[in-house]
Amino acid sequence: MKISFFLLVVYALITTKTYSSESQNRLLEVYKNLRCLVCQGQSIADSNSDFAATIKLVVEDQFKEGKTEDEIYKFLMNKYGEWIVYQPTFNKNNFLLWVLPYAVLIFGGFIIFLVVRKTKRNKVN
Amino acid sequence: MKISISKIIIFSFTIFLLLVFWQGLKKDNNYDTENLIGSRISSFQLIEINNNDQYISEEDLKKNKFTLINFFASWCAPCRTEHKYLLNLSNKNKKIKIIGINFKDKKKNAINFLNELGNPYNFVGKDINGKISILFGIYGIPESILVDSDLTVIKKIVGPIDKVQYNEILELVQ
Amino acid sequence: MLSNIGIGLVILILALSFLIISIAYYDSKTSKQVIKKSIYKLSLLQTTFTILSFFTLIIGFINSDFSLINVYENSHTTKPLFYKIAGTWGNHEGSLLLWVNILVIFSYLFLVFNHTHNKKFRLYTLIFQNILIIGFLFFLLLNSNPFNLIYPIPLEGLGLNPILQDPALAVHPPLLYIGFVGCSIYFSAAMASLISGYGGKLFAQSIKTWVKISWCFQTLGIIVGSIWAYYELGWGGFWFWDPVENASLLPWFAITALMHSLIVLEKRNTLYAWVIILCLLTFILSVTGTFLVRSGILNSVHTFASDPSRGIYILSFLSLMIFSSLIVFFMKYKKETYNFNLKSRETFILVNNWFMIFFLVTILIGMLYPIFLDVLTNVKISVGPPFFNIIIIPLVVPLLFLMAIGPNFSWINSRNKIFYKALFIVLGSVAINVFILYFFGRYSLMSNLIFVSAIFLILYSLLDIKKFFNKKLKFGLSRIISHLSFGFLIFFIGINHQFSIEEDFNLKVGDIKKISSYEINFEEITMKEKKNYKVAIGSFKLTNLKNDMVQYLNPEIRIYSNPETLTYEAAIKTKITSDLYLTMSNISRSDFYNIKFQNKPFMIWIWISALMIAVGGFIQLNLKKNED
């Protein structure tokens, strides 16, 4: 049964990598991932501001040119900083952000594993 | 209470957390793009407002010691208040060339605006749908960027230029 | 005059708190078995004054008494009566007074309803709760006083934000606060338990009902907030992982974990230390959430107006709370032995806690990381929905499986036949999933897993219901309902996410746009004048090309005059099968309007499932003592 704990954690890590939004509307997904710079906590998709309207035009153009989502995000981050994208990139600044939750998951599982194993040991004795 | 490693860790972590919160209160959470200072502007093509055959690109800016790129519009009220500083810069200082980019505006209104308030620009380009502003990392009007001959951004002014920033610009171009 | 009454009452409550603490402390030292009568009377007096102070503020709002700054800033003479009253708690100072009310009322009720429990424990609970009350009262008096005066007295108020004039939003804060602040009582009880040594099964029984109450109201409060956001904020979503939403979710996970662990503490008299930690953690998280949201440290679409001085005060209060609970806990902590077999219900409850804490920590990290990074390195990043979705959603799959089989394990130990039954139902779930795939379209691996696990939980729960009504299962109806509804919630969210049609485009009046099987005809815009706003109503003819049915959707752009605001009202047609959603917003200096059109299947079932989760909890509250 230790295997099942281990598998669970591995599952969590793997599915994270393969989880992607398979929505038909890639354009809208990009809008949702971009942050409106002049609004209080709204995405480009939800904002009615002038800035959001302009960004939508630029993103649409780049899509038509065949750029990928990553290229578009990189372009905008280059102009406006990492703040404009809602999904934090995995770099030396942010790797703790992505790693810590799983560290907690593994730690928690480890504790349960210890508790159950101790009980098993006591039973055997 | 016995002193153990885990207790020390927990207490230290809590103190650290609360200190960060305390410092965090002092930070301004309005985001601005000050981080752009030090980066280079990208390549662009700017079409002249009166003449569709005339345009400049980033190459032309390399000829200048300093260039101030100013985004303005006739419908923008704060643009009027900053205009006198732009005029001062263009008249008094030969080191700075000023490029005006007319943002989401009508040609007629822009021309009237410049006729009324004076034209400080060496070149006036048009940005009808706002896409060019994105190339420069602009998010509001008025906004100005000061670049050197290497096309490196040395100052960003979000909102109208005021006296303090005007003096800062003068200092930077010495 | 109202100001004097209000402040007077607040000072009286403060004085009573000090009095109660000292009398309770001395009474705890006596050998008598019964709590002094005067303590009950003082507590009741305190409660009465607190409720009266709240009424005083409400009267100020009803009468539009603009001598009170709070009324001036948040009300207006033309506001309908219902919203004038709701304005009382729709602002920072007023909501703080509501917090004090809940603290005091719960303090009194806990005292009165727990008379079968240990005297020292009850007295200490009262003492700690009153310390919390004093803390909040000082905050109120020194920094956020709803009874402050303004002179000269303005003739008209600044008006409540028009977006906040909505029945759901009027009711959402009180619901949520009963959850948020209700957990203060078991924070105090936990401290009291540590100090008085009153633990174990009896302690669990003393706080059980309070944990359930706060859970029910917290759940309901969060759901009502989501429903409001969906119908009012105009972006068609119901959860945005916004800091304010996250702040309400943090205590929710802790309360859910606690609620489950309490079952173990009561049944098997173990996990006492962990339960105490959860009790302390929950209210700490509530106050942390309040700090994050009201101090201005985070940027959000629905924060209150922020003020750094508030932040300093709440932070100080939070620090005192955390350090005192840590110190008391470490002083009194005794090592426990644990007896957990793998195939037992108590282990599965531990696993539930594992998941709840994981989700809690993920959200906490997502909220705090940008602050830490900014303070330590001056780099600003955003952590938004993609982060939370990517980390949390994959773990919902195993959670659903475990929610189904966990409750069916016996206490202490179980046999393996549970796994055979589970396998059988998994096959059934996969079959149903394949059915959906076949008829409605392909989707990703993750979505497949979500569907299979949600259907698994649904089927398993339905079988449990059958067992319950066949009298084979005596208890657990409320648990089955809540778990079943959670399964349905995830299932409908999955369907909604998979099969929604969403488009964002610009149209001029007279344009026609075709989207999937719909044709949208932007026929006209009409301007109208209403009582306190002007409105531009768009008329959109929607033709369903599959069956030629025609509907009209009328989104609005409203221009309010006090305060001057622009709001966008979505046109929403809610049906059993799906919702049609259309918003229209103007683009400056252009004839074009930005249109967002959505077809969202089974939207109303998402709300129904979510509400049923809370209903399950409320059913629990009404059951007789021995039923579980």
B23 φ/ψ sector (left φ>0, alpha ψ -120 to 50, else beta): alpha
Alpha carbon of B18 to those of A6, C307, C460, C560: distances in Å? 34, 18, 45, 41
Give the closest-approach CA distance of C302 to chain A in angstroms: 8
Give the closest-approach CA distance of C275 to chain B in angstroms: 18
Asked if A55 has any chain B CB less than 8 Å from its own CB, the reply is yes
At residue C217, the pLDDT reads 96
Taking alpha carbons only, the member of C148, C11, C138 closest to residue C70 is C148
Query: Which residues of chain A have a CB within 8 Å of the CB of B134?
Result: 54-55, 58, 76, 79
Which of B14, B29, B35 lies nearest to residue C296, judging by beta carbons? B29
Q: Is B14 exposed, middle or buried, given 0-12, 13-18 or 19+ CB atoms closer than 10 A? A: middle
Over residues B11-29, the pLDDT tens digits come to 999 999 999 999 988 887 6
C304: pLDDT confidence band, cut at 50, 70 and 90?
Answer: low
Percent of the residues in chain C that have a pLDDT greater than 90, as a whole number:
62
At residue C272, the pLDDT reads 94
Over residues C129-144, the pLDDT tens digits come to 999 999 999 999 999 9
From C123-127, C210-214, C461-465, the region with the lowest mean pLDDT: C461-465
C551 φ/ψ sector (left φ>0, alpha ψ -120 to 50, else beta): beta
Is C182 found in the same domain as C48? no
Is C453 found in the same domain as C545? no
Mean pLDDT calculated for residue range C261-269: 92
Query: Which residues of chain A have a CB within 8 Å of the CB of B139?
Result: 37-38, 51, 80
Q: In terms of C-beta distances under 8 Å and separation of at least 24 residues, what long-range contacts does C330-333 make, across chains too? A: C330/B1, C330/B7, C331/B1, C331/C194, C332/C194, C332/C195, C332/C197, C333/C273
Residue of B nearest to A59 (CA): B131
Please state, rounded to an integer, the average pLDDT across all residues of chain C.
90
Asked if C417 has any chain B CB less than 8 Å from its own CB, the reply is no
Mean pLDDT calculated for residue range C429-438: 84
Is C270 found in the same domain as C366? yes
C362: pLDDT confidence band, cut at 50, 70 and 90?
Answer: very high
Give the closest-approach CA distance of A85 to chain C in angstroms: 6
Q: Neighbours of A (≥3 Cβ pairs closer than 8 A)?
A: B, C
Domain of residue B102, residue span? 34-172
Give the closest-approach CA distance of A15 to chain C in angstroms: 6
Is the residue at B23 inside a domain? Answer: no
Question: Residues C246, C249, C253, CA angle at the centre, nearest 5°?
Answer: 140
Domain of residue C183, residue span? 168-383
At residue C365, the pLDDT reads 96
Encoding tokens for residue C584?
């229209």
pTM confidence score: 0.92
R_g (Cα) of chain B, nearest Å: 22
User: Last residue of a domain, which of C143, C165, C187?
Assistant: C165
Give the closest-approach CA distance of B64 to chain C in angstroms: 32
At residue C137, the pLDDT reads 96
Is the residue at B104 inside a domain? Answer: yes
Please state, rounded to an integer, the average pLDDT across all residues of chain B.
89
Is the residue at B115 inside a domain? Answer: yes
User: Last residue of a domain, which of C383, C416, C436?
Assistant: C383
Alpha carbon of A39 to those of B48, B141, C299, C586: distances in Å? 32, 15, 9, 16
Which of C393, C594, C596 lies nearest to residue A53, judging by beta carbons? C594
Is C300 found in the same domain as C156? no
Query: Which residues of chain A have a CB within 8 Å of the CB of B130?
Result: 50, 53-54, 57
* Count of structural domains, chain C: 4
Chain B residues contacting A, CB < 8 Å? 31, 33, 35-36, 39, 42, 104, 129-131, 133-137, 139-140
With 90 as the cut, is the pLDDT of residue A71 above it? yes
At residue C85, the pLDDT reads 92
Query: Which residues of chain C have a CB within 8 Å of the CB of B5?
Result: none
- Looking up residue B75, the CATH number of its domain turns out to be 3.40.30.10
Query: Which residues of chain A have a CB within 8 Å of the CB of B35?
Result: 81
Mean pLDDT calculated for residue range B76-104: 89
Percent of the residues in chain A that have a pLDDT greater than 90, as a whole number:
40
B4: pLDDT confidence band, cut at 50, 70 and 90?
Answer: confident
User: Last residue of a domain, which of C133, C165, C197?
Assistant: C165
Residue ranges of domains in chain A, CATH in brackets: 2-124 (1.10.8.640)
Is the residue at B68 inside a domain? Answer: yes
Over residues C81-115, the pLDDT tens digits come to 998 999 899 889 999 999 999 999 999 999 999 88
Give the closest-approach CA distance of B81 to chain C in angstroms: 22
Residue of C nearest to A122 (CA): C339
Residue of B nearest to C365 (CA): B17
Mean pLDDT calculated for residue range C257-264: 95
Neighbour-count burial for C349-383, b at 16+ CB within 10 Å, e otherwise: bbbbbbbbbbbbbbbbbbbbbbbbbbbeeeebbbb
Over residues C473-532, the pLDDT tens digits come to 667 888 999 999 999 999 999 999 888 888 888 999 999 999 888 999 999 999 999 877
Test B135 with A79 for CB contact under 8 angstroms: yes
* Count of structural domains, chain B: 1
Element (H, E) at A125: none
Query: Which residues of chain C have a CB within 8 Å of the CB of A22?
Result: 443-444, 447
C421: pLDDT confidence band, cut at 50, 70 and 90?
Answer: confident
Test B30 with C299 for CB contact under 8 angstroms: yes
Alpha carbon of C424 to those of C167, C273, C342, C488: distances in Å? 46, 38, 22, 20
Is C546 found in the same domain as C433? no
Could you give the CA distance from residue B154 to residue C443 in angstroms, rounded to a whole number?
Answer: 49
Could you give the CA distance from residue C503 to residue C598 in angstroms, rounded to a whole number?
Answer: 6
Which of A46, A53, A88 lies nearest to residue C383, judging by beta carbons? A88
Is C106 found in the same domain as C66? yes
Percent of the residues in chain C that have a pLDDT greater than 70, as a whole number:
97
Could you give the CA distance from residue C321 to residue C279 in angstroms, rounded to a whole number?
Answer: 13
Which of B24, B75, B104 lies nearest to residue C371, judging by beta carbons? B24
Which of B14, B24, B35 lies nearest to residue C375, judging by beta carbons? B24
Is the residue at C388 inside a domain? Answer: no
With 80 as the cut, is the pLDDT of residue B55 above it? yes
A18: pLDDT confidence band, cut at 50, 70 and 90?
Answer: low
Is the residue at B14 inside a domain? Answer: no
Mean pLDDT calculated for residue range C347-374: 94
Q: Which residue of A10, A17, A18, A97 is the best one to mutate when testing the C interface, meaning the one whose CB has the most C CBs within 10 A?
A: A97
Which of C382, C394, C594 lies nearest to residue A12, judging by beta carbons? C394
Query: Which residues of chain B have a CB within 8 Å of the CB of C298?
Result: 29
Give the closest-approach CA distance of A28 to chain B in angstroms: 19
Mean pLDDT calculated for residue range A3-21: 66
Element (H, E) at C499: helix C477-499
From A71-75, C205-209, C308-312, the region with the lowest mean pLDDT: C308-312
With 50 as the cut, is the pLDDT of residue C30 above it? yes
Is C55 found in the same domain as C193? no
Asked if A70 has any chain C CB less than 8 Å from its own CB, the reply is no
A17: pLDDT confidence band, cut at 50, 70 and 90?
Answer: low
Could you give the CA distance from residue C192 to residue C194 in angstroms, rounded to a whole number?
Answer: 5
Which carries the bigger pLDDT value, residue C279 or residue A121? C279
Asked if B107 has any chain C CB less than 8 Å from its own CB, the reply is no
Is the residue at C536 inside a domain? Answer: yes
Question: Residues C79, C85, C88, CA angle at the centre, nearest 5°?
Answer: 110
Asked if A53 has any chain C CB less than 8 Å from its own CB, the reply is yes
Is the residue at C610 inside a domain? Answer: no
Size of interface A-C (CB pairs under 8 A): 147
With 80 as the cut, is the pLDDT of residue B42 above it? yes
Asked if B38 has any chain C CB less than 8 Å from its own CB, the reply is no
Question: Residues C29, C277, C391, CA angle at the centre, nearest 5°?
Answer: 165
At residue A21, the pLDDT reads 47
Could you give the CA distance from residue C482 to residue C418 in angstroms, rounded to a whole number?
Answer: 21
Mean pLDDT calculated for residue range C336-357: 88
At residue C233, the pLDDT reads 80
Give the closest-approach CA distance of B30 to chain C in angstroms: 8
Which of B36, B129, B135 lies nearest to residue A57, judging by beta carbons? B129
Query: Which residues of chain A have a CB within 8 Å of the CB of B159?
Result: none
Is the residue at C627 inside a domain? Answer: no
Is the residue at B28 inside a domain? Answer: no
Residue of B nearest to A62 (CA): B131
Query: Which residues of chain A have a CB within 8 Å of the CB of C587?
Result: 50, 53
Mean pLDDT calculated for residue range C414-424: 80
Test A18 with C445 for CB contact under 8 angstroms: yes
Which of B11, B23, B31 lies nearest to residue C326, judging by beta carbons? B11
Is C401 found in the same domain as C446? yes
Test C296 with B22 for CB contact under 8 angstroms: no
Query: Which residues of chain B have a CB within 8 Å of the CB of A52?
Result: none
Encoding tokens for residue A29?
């997904």
Type of residue at C21: I
Is the residue at B147 inside a domain? Answer: yes
Mean pLDDT calculated for residue range C300-324: 83
